[in-house]
Amino acid sequence: MMPEAALSSGKPMPRVGMGTASFPLGATDPSTVKDVVLRAIEAGYRHFDTAAVYQTEAILGDAVAEAVRAGLVASRDELYITSKLWVAHAHPGHVLPSLRRALR
Protein backbone atom coordinates (compact mmCIF):
# COMPACT_ATOMS: atom_id res chain seq x y z
CA MET A 1 0.00 0.00 0.00
CA MET A 2 1.40 3.38 -0.98
CA PRO A 3 1.27 6.24 1.53
CA GLU A 4 -1.36 8.82 0.64
CA ALA A 5 -2.07 12.49 1.26
CA ALA A 6 -5.61 13.83 1.54
CA LEU A 7 -6.40 16.54 -0.99
CA SER A 8 -8.69 19.45 -0.09
CA SER A 9 -11.49 17.51 -1.80
CA GLY A 10 -10.89 14.65 0.63
CA LYS A 11 -9.73 12.39 -2.19
CA PRO A 12 -6.51 10.51 -1.33
CA MET A 13 -3.49 11.03 -3.61
CA PRO A 14 -0.48 8.71 -3.59
CA ARG A 15 2.59 10.40 -2.07
CA VAL A 16 4.88 8.29 -4.21
CA GLY A 17 4.91 8.98 -7.92
CA MET A 18 6.98 8.10 -10.94
CA GLY A 19 8.98 10.85 -12.60
CA THR A 20 9.20 11.04 -16.38
CA ALA A 21 12.40 13.08 -16.78
CA SER A 22 15.40 11.62 -18.54
CA PHE A 23 19.00 12.73 -18.77
CA PRO A 24 19.79 14.54 -20.87
CA LEU A 25 16.30 16.02 -21.05
CA GLY A 26 14.31 14.72 -24.00
CA ALA A 27 16.92 12.09 -24.87
CA THR A 28 14.73 9.03 -24.25
CA ASP A 29 12.78 7.54 -27.14
CA PRO A 30 9.06 8.45 -26.76
CA SER A 31 7.98 4.83 -27.23
CA THR A 32 10.24 3.82 -24.33
CA VAL A 33 8.69 6.46 -22.04
CA LYS A 34 5.20 5.35 -23.03
CA ASP A 35 6.04 1.68 -22.38
CA VAL A 36 7.58 2.47 -18.99
CA VAL A 37 4.50 4.48 -17.94
CA LEU A 38 2.17 1.66 -19.03
CA ARG A 39 4.23 -0.88 -17.09
CA ALA A 40 4.19 1.41 -14.04
CA ILE A 41 0.39 1.63 -14.23
CA GLU A 42 0.25 -2.17 -14.45
CA ALA A 43 2.48 -2.32 -11.35
CA GLY A 44 0.11 -0.06 -9.41
CA TYR A 45 1.52 3.45 -9.84
CA ARG A 46 -1.19 6.08 -9.96
CA HIS A 47 0.87 9.29 -9.62
CA PHE A 48 3.12 10.57 -12.41
CA ASP A 49 5.28 13.68 -12.55
CA THR A 50 6.15 15.58 -15.71
CA ALA A 51 7.10 19.06 -16.94
CA ALA A 52 7.26 20.82 -20.28
CA VAL A 53 11.05 20.90 -20.02
CA TYR A 54 11.10 17.08 -19.73
CA GLN A 55 9.37 16.82 -23.13
CA THR A 56 7.20 13.99 -21.80
CA GLU A 57 3.81 15.65 -21.23
CA ALA A 58 2.31 14.50 -24.56
CA ILE A 59 3.85 11.04 -24.25
CA LEU A 60 2.44 10.65 -20.76
CA GLY A 61 -0.98 11.73 -22.07
CA ASP A 62 -0.77 9.09 -24.81
CA ALA A 63 0.15 6.43 -22.26
CA VAL A 64 -2.77 7.40 -20.02
CA ALA A 65 -5.20 7.23 -22.95
CA GLU A 66 -3.84 3.80 -23.90
CA ALA A 67 -4.09 2.60 -20.29
CA VAL A 68 -7.78 3.56 -20.23
CA ARG A 69 -8.42 1.88 -23.62
CA ALA A 70 -6.62 -1.27 -22.44
CA GLY A 71 -8.59 -1.37 -19.19
CA LEU A 72 -5.54 -0.90 -16.96
CA VAL A 73 -7.52 1.88 -15.26
CA ALA A 74 -11.24 2.56 -15.55
CA SER A 75 -10.76 6.27 -16.22
CA ARG A 76 -8.29 9.15 -16.14
CA ASP A 77 -9.76 10.05 -12.73
CA GLU A 78 -7.82 7.18 -11.17
CA LEU A 79 -4.50 8.83 -12.02
CA TYR A 80 -2.70 11.88 -10.65
CA ILE A 81 -0.51 13.84 -13.03
CA THR A 82 1.65 16.60 -11.60
CA SER A 83 3.58 19.07 -13.70
CA LYS A 84 5.55 22.22 -13.09
CA LEU A 85 5.43 25.80 -14.25
CA TRP A 86 8.87 26.74 -15.53
CA VAL A 87 10.25 29.87 -13.83
CA ALA A 88 10.47 31.71 -17.16
CA HIS A 89 6.70 31.21 -17.55
CA ALA A 90 5.78 32.58 -14.11
CA HIS A 91 5.02 36.05 -15.50
CA PRO A 92 1.27 36.77 -15.27
CA GLY A 93 0.89 36.85 -19.05
CA HIS A 94 2.55 33.44 -19.48
CA VAL A 95 0.95 31.35 -16.73
CA LEU A 96 -2.37 30.47 -18.38
CA PRO A 97 -0.88 29.70 -21.82
CA SER A 98 1.71 27.45 -20.15
CA LEU A 99 -0.96 25.64 -18.15
CA ARG A 100 -3.11 25.17 -21.26
CA ARG A 101 -0.14 23.64 -23.11
CA ALA A 102 0.49 21.28 -20.19
CA LEU A 103 -3.14 20.17 -20.11
CA ARG A 104 -3.27 19.49 -23.85
Instruction: Provide the annotated active-site residues.
Output: 54
Torsion of CA 69, 40, 103, 11, to 10 degrees: 90
Phi, psi of 51, deg, nearest 5: -165, 155
Asked if the peptide bond before residue 24 counts as cis, ω within 30 degrees of 0, the response is yes
Contact 15, 2 (CB under 8 A): yes
